Amino acid sequence: MRPLVATVDLTALRNNYLLAKRFAPGCRAFAVVKANAYGHGVREAVVTLRDVSDGFAVASLEEGAEVRAMHGEARILLLEGCFEPSEYQAAAQLQLDVAVQGEAQAQALLSASLTRPLNVWLKLDSGMHRLGLGHSEARNWQGRLRGAPQVAELNLMSHFACADEQGHPLTQQQLARFNALPATEFNNRSMANSAAILSLPQAHLDWIRPGIMLYGATPFADRSAASLGLEPVMSLTAQIIAIREVQVGDCVGYGGTWLARRPSLIGTVSCGYADGYPRHAGPGAEVVIRGQPVPLAGRVSMDMLAVDLTDLPEARLGDEVELWGRQMPVDQLAHSCGTIGYELLTKVTGRVPRRYR
């Protein structure tokens, strides 16, 4: 086998979910497992959490059906709602909770002939301006949906735009707009994503929605996952598959962008951008070999990348290389690449085998 594997620590996943619950005592929590559980494997995530989770959240009907097949009783929230009117019947058959984020969805719901009513989450656009109804529209549809035969519970939800930025004024504005709709008119309310769970207790309400924190990455630019008590879930590891000496003036990799300024030792590592490692990783990006950070050398290739082993002359063929994990936090690599941990985790491709423990 090609020496590259994503090892997923399911105990860490479970611990991170329980940590989210401890941050919001008395609240129920939808574990967000959309996008194949952020690249970690939705089947394994659901099985791991099924005896502790209050519910799961997904992005599409197909994802909801996949989770339902593994857990017959769980509450499963369809975060973006139904994309076609015909999907409401399927959602009812699957017993999904469904977001209603616009007038077209609300009209389609009231026109649907369902075998059973749905738990509906009316989505308020509290200031992110991505999905959701405005305040007056939400009040109107609250009145129209309450008591409709298609509706069991009528709940309220919204989503923060800047909860990951401490003290951002929009966060308090969004919370005020959300609270302007009377709580007594809804069965449940939900607003807190990972960042709000960890930093904004007034937003915890009835249901929280932990996402990135489940997978051991931080939602904040200035606070590490470790400082929050989160455990990394995925470790992406490869091997050194070649070592060569290069002389002063020699270049490494496509485009010859890395130039040796001293006699150097270059290692080739069995991971590239076709595996999900960011092609734009450059100066500042590091891997860990034998417990020591080692910088990249040159451009990332499709199946390989090069590292500068000059300061680690004891490195050998076959040495394990941690691309990210417990020694190299995924958020640290993401920061050096000008992106976020979410993107790196979800982009690990299908050709990388997952090993679960």
Active-site residue, from 21, 34, 273, 277: 34
Q: Determine contact, residues 99/132, Cβ cutoff 8 Å.
A: no
Which of 169, 210, 146 is closest to 18 using CA atoms? 210
Q: Determine contact, residues 262/276, Cβ cutoff 8 Å.
A: no
Q: Determine contact, residues 216/345, Cβ cutoff 8 Å.
A: no
| Cα 270 to Cα 259: distance, rounded to the nearest angstrom | 21
Task: Give the helix ranges, DSSP H, for 264-346.
Answer: 330-336, 341-346
Q: 234 a known binding residue? A: no
Q: Would you call 34 a catalytic residue per the annotation?
A: yes
Task: Please state the length of the chain.
Answer: 357
Which of 323, 137, 183, 163 is closest to 240 using CA atoms? 323
Which of 164, 235, 192 is closest to 12 using CA atoms? 235
Pairing between β-strand 251-252 and β-strand 258-259 as defined by DSSP bridges: antiparallel
Active-site residue, from 38, 88, 123, 254: 254
Q: 157 a known binding residue? A: no
**Residue 142 one-letter amino acid:** Q
Q: Would you call 215 a catalytic residue per the annotation?
A: no
Residue 190 structure tokens = 């939900």
Binding residue numbers for substrate: 130, 302
Which residues are catalytically annotated? Answer: 34, 254
